[in-house]
A and B are shown apart, each in its own frame.
Chain A
């Protein structure tokens, strides 16, 4: 079980969190003119590197804040957790 430091609440067990996937995706702006390909890439393509991965987690059984985590996908080591605006 991972030990995740919520940037708002501190160290907590993974049990309190829900995963949110690739944290580097930026949603296209509303009403933005973009190509089909750009849209499909947003909807379907994910970074899934072996090694450092920036991802979203959601503190659902806590402060209910979404935040970002930098984690190694081969060792599960967490390097840092940070607020989305950071």
Chain B
């Protein structure tokens, strides 16, 4: 297909490089440097999508981020992505796009029936209906609405692209490379400041690319190229195109995304698709420019209606005509620039100016070019369904609320200009309360709350001369205060046309008896009448209007609709716009790919994985892993076809019968040193610590101040003022912070230091009746007899040349030892234990066997210490000192904690000695009771007791030990089980604790 609407010359596209692409299955040709939008327009394609609610035909309206309509489904690198803005995506070979929200095709869309019924769908209609019959909302109406809503189709494939993050610090971040951005960045760079200049578009220069101006006798485009190339040469400057600063966060943290991949035809390996930049800037200069406001009129959403500046940009940047018979509908001089550009390209526009017989340099120029101008005229309504064919225009009466006469004229496009709205999003995000500027009828930044300045059009300055002057000065001043350098810069001479005053006219009145849809928000189909209904019904706050009508809530976030919406509310409410206020500007400025925000922490890298020094041994020996926070721990070591149950039973039994070894490296370890260490431990733990001898370990429980158990573990006195604390794997980090808090904030007078040594030590627990024999072989030089190394004893030893710590502590209830060596020797230790242990039938055991062993011994762990239990609840009252004070002690006196029938730990055995009791079951007296069935407690941990060869569980039960001997039901409605159980002591094995002391 030929590019019928491509001009023969002009534009910044590369005509030497044609690019083939597809739209709705059909092939087209564009050029390198096109956007998808400009390439389609070059081919005369205007009907590109359907609107959200009424499925009205829609075409391009803008040329960049202002575009409300042109959201497309685009195939990029084999992935189909919805809602891509065709005015922003750059054309690459093979790109394939299609229209969204239409079925079966954009040309013939069934959903358009909504348009013909639109009178029945005013704002908020769905709040008023779809209520009967009751079940129909969820079953009938809503599924229909959901199907009709939504824009594009999300691919459910895993995203194969790569996204990266980058962190930068700079003196000045300049957002936008129009005249304000270039001037301020240049001035600051000359002063030696570290500058980042970010431009959203592929081309630098902003309006300099489209405005007919000269700077120092260079065209705007040439001047911007000159400045950019100078900036790029400077080592203190980072210049980035395709980079949009989308968020202004606290403490001048700016976030930007850079489009690094999609515009490349062949992306090099490891080049990310996009990059997210977190930039901490000392100062931020906002040179984000302005966006043209539409004028509202009947059927103003018809394909062929454009913003006038967009029409100009398509000609000047892309060499594309958006129409060959345009109406320019304007309330200010900008429209004339577009008209002149059309004329220069051989097209005869007609200008409708809402102002009365206006005079200005531009108007004169237009007149000189023989451009037809009608003053006091407005477009009333556009005609044509899928493309503008003609328009009814009319002469406005004096008050501009009605028309004196109307006529219909042929046209193929309408370019509107309702003056300019500064892009104040980032300023507003920074906390800057905006103020309304009457002269330009728009909000502009007020006082800065953070270190930011708005420059140029973003600040409501619309002349090049003032923009350059202010921007050079601000760039220079702001950087000077940082770098203390002051390079004088000559502010260049400019040549631009003078504008005359704009007209406040923003919406064409409806002629009597006419009911044209006049859209304020295109994408969400919000018309003037919708906003009027909302106001009539009392939704009067601008936030109510927005929420009730969905004004400004579409993917373009109301960039072209906000101010007109405010103006309408102000008119109806007989207020002025600043009294109506504005809705909040929230990040991001334009939608940001979620993958970009996430970066590289995906898949297995979602969270770090912590591995012990013995990890690879476990792996080689068929460990089945369990996640313990960030750690990977062997849950069991699979032999043959064993399942979890069989393997853990084997491993646990082997511990009870012989000896087993378990990797306990993951336990938290904290080194505690200082003359007040004992006193500190005495305050932290509930039991007494002042008299622990050197070379002895003690089990301790620590509470939060609210009396709830925080953690438990053993602490060993290594030497006079040196202790080694262990914590649970889960609480290691919390406990360290907790100790530091008390040492630094509460009791700074205590001379104690704590430091985490979790990663410095590898730990192996050897447990079982043969563990002493094994230990003796591991440490032949040490007397490991019960007398020399009793329960809770500690010695240091030499493990074949490696320094080791040996603790006689037990979690399994068996005779057991824990050996620690420096992490680098962890694997060495482990292999020695396995090798030498062979003669004692050693087997490694995982966390599942570990659980079995501790449960049948009645040792509590995570499921019992669940952040809701106090020591009394879990049989730890013996560890609660009556004499001394400690963290959380005062809370233990609370009424609820001392209730006679409080839930406490017990053991449970099924009456049939066979049925395993699912964890999470609740205990009830009557399994068939009417609901709600009163719960007496719950099953916290269950195991198959290898000692007694039947199931055993721990439970937290109302009235605790007083219930021993009672029969109850452990019910799990979720699993449809109900097991009759007998309540017994929580210590099922070795009640007196003889084995650990043997």
Contacts and interface: CB of A to CB of B under 8 A. Distances in A.
B251 A78 contact: yes
Given A3-B280, A20-B741, A31-B885, A75 B251 contact: no
B356 interface: no
A44 B251 CA distance: 31
Contacts of A75: 431, 449
Nearest to B891: A43
A58 B740 contact: yes
Interface in B698-743: 705-706, 733, 737, 740-741
A66 B741 CA distance: 7
Contact of A30 (B683, B740, B744): B683
A18 interface: yes
A1 B281 CA distance: 12
B253 A1 contact: yes
Contacts of B249: 1
B890 A39 contact: yes
Interface in A8-26: 13, 18, 20
Given A18-B737, A43-B705, A56 B745 contact: yes
A76 B740 contact: no
Contacts, number: 54
A84 B741 CA distance: 11
Interface in A36-67: 36, 39, 42-44, 56, 58, 60, 64-66
B278 interface: yes
Contact of A3 (B253, B737, B744): B253
Nearest to B743: A66
A58 B737 contact: yes
A36 B683 CA distance: 20
Nearest to A85: B748
A44 B683 CA distance: 20
B931 interface: no
A30 B250 contact: no
Given A39-B891, A75-B431, A3 B251 contact: yes
A20 B746 CA distance: 13
Given A39-B891, A42-B705, A84 B683 contact: no
Contacts of B891: 39, 43
A5 to B, nearest CB: 10
Given A27-B746, A42-B705, A58 B431 contact: no
Interface in B246-287: 249-253, 278, 280
A24 B422 CA distance: 44
Interface in B871-927: 885-886, 890-891, 893
A1 B252 CA distance: 9
Contacts of A58: 737, 740-741
A64 B706 contact: no
A60 B278 CA distance: 21
Interface string A66-80: 100000000110100
Contact of B251 (A1, A18, A20): A1
A41 B746 CA distance: 17
Contacts of B893: 36
A66 B745 contact: yes
B743 to A, nearest CB: 9
Contacts of A28: 890
B744 A66 contact: yes
Contacts of B449: 75
B452 to A, nearest CB: 14
Contacts of B733: 60
Contacts of A18: 737
Contacts of A66: 740-741, 744-745
B870 to A, nearest CB: 13
A76 B450 CA distance: 11
Contacts of B748: 84-85
A39 B974 CA distance: 41
Contacts of A43: 705-706, 891
A42 B737 CA distance: 19
A12 to B, nearest CB: 11
Nearest to B893: A36
B283 to A, nearest CB: 14
Contact of B250 (A1, A20, A31): A1
Nearest to B755: A64
B250 A84 contact: no
A80 to B, nearest CB: 14
A42 B704 CA distance: 12
Contact of A76 (B250, B741, B744): B250
The CB with the most chain B CB atoms within 10 A, among A20, A28, A64, is that of A64
B251 A76 contact: yes
B251 A84 contact: no
Interface in B433-469: 449
A30 B885 contact: yes
Contacts of A30: 683, 885-886
B769 to A, nearest CB: 43
Contacts of B252: 3
Nearest to A31: B885
Contacts of B705: 27, 42-43
Nearest to A75: B431
A62 to B, nearest CB: 12
A60 B738 CA distance: 12
Contacts of A64: 740
A30 B449 CA distance: 45
Given A43-B891, A58-B737, A75-B431, A2 B744 contact: no
B250 A2 contact: yes
A48 to B, nearest CB: 18
Nearest to B250: A76
Interface string B837-876: 0000000000000000000000000000000000000000
A76 B431 CA distance: 11
Interface string B677-689: 0000001000000
Contacts of A85: 748
B124 to A, nearest CB: 33
Interface string B224-255: 00000000000000000000000001111100
A34 B889 CA distance: 13
Nearest to A32: B885
A14 to B, nearest CB: 9
A54 to B, nearest CB: 12
Nearest to B756: A64
Interface of A: 1-3, 13, 18, 20, 27-28, 30-31, 34, 36, 39, 42-44, 56, 58, 60, 64-66, 75-76, 78, 84-85
26 contacts: A1-B249, A1-B251, A1-B253, A3-B250, A3-B252, A3-B253, A3-B280, A20-B741, A27-B746, A30-B683, A34-B890, A36-B893, A39-B890, A42-B705, A43-B706, A44-B706, A60-B733, A60-B737, A64-B740, A65-B740, A65-B744, A75-B431, A76-B251, A78-B251, A84-B745, A85-B748
Interface of B: 249-253, 278, 280, 431, 449, 683, 705-706, 733, 737, 740-741, 744-746, 748, 885-886, 890-891, 893
Closest 10 CB pairs of A and B: A3-B251, A30-B885, A76-B250, A66-B744, A31-B885, A39-B890, A1-B253, A27-B746, A43-B705, A66-B745
Given A1-B253, A3-B250, A65-B744, 17 more contacts: A2-B250, A3-B251, A3-B252, A20-B741, A27-B705, A30-B885, A34-B890, A36-B893, A39-B891, A42-B705, A43-B705, A43-B706, A43-B891, A44-B706, A64-B740, A66-B741, A75-B449
